[in-house]
């Protein structure tokens, strides 16, 4: 998961309540093996994750192409929201996009990855690295 630290925004794939696929560009926060997504409650991303928490993310950066699969859960604990908001988890200041963490239209999703695959450029070509939860 460390390959995701400091990467440019990635592409989030979700599914709507009616089964329609949706893709959107997102910046990811990284906190150990937990990913964070900040968005507006009114966004298609948020609506889709509330209907079906399963997701996939693809990120290119740090000489790697990384794919992550997992499930998202909206974070509702005020202390945890503040910790993530103010703790340097995201590669930018969330206030610039969303104002205050008290903004009622902002939601942070905690993503618990279940597996990840990274294709990393090495001296002898591409190297496949895999990661799975608990493994």
Predicted confidence at residue 4, as pLDDT, reads 64
Residue by residue, DSSP assigns 2-19 as: GGGTTPPPEEEEEE-TTS
Q: How far apart are CA 38 and CA 90, in angstroms?
A: 9
- Under the banding of pLDDT at 50, 70 and 90, the label for residue 18 is very high
Instruction: Inform me whether the pLDDT recorded for 6 exceeds 80.
Output: no
Domain residue spans of the chain: 2-132
Which pTM was predicted?
Answer: 0.88
What CATH number is given for 2-132 in this structure? 2.30.110.10
127 alpha-carbon distance from chain centroid: 23
The residue that leads in pLDDT, 87 or 5, is 87
Contact 15, 54 (CB under 8 A): yes
């Amino acid at each position: 998961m460390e390959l995701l630290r400091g990467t440019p925004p990635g592409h989030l794939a979700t599914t709507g309540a009616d089964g329609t696929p949706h893709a959107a560009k997102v910046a990811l926060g990284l906190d150990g093996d937990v990913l964070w997504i900040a968005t507006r409650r009114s966004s298609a991303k948020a609506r889709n994750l509330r209907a079906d928490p399963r997701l996939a993310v693809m990120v290119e950066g740090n000489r790697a192409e990384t794919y992550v699969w997992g499930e998202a859960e909206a974070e509702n604990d005020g202390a945890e929201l503040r910790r993530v908001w103010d703790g340097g988890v995201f590669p930018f200041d969330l206030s610039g996009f969303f104002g205050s963490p008290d903004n009622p239209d902002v939601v942070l999703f905690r993503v618990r990855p279940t597996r990840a695959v990274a294709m990393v450029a090495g001296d002898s070509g591409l190297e496949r690295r895999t990661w799975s939860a608990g493994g």
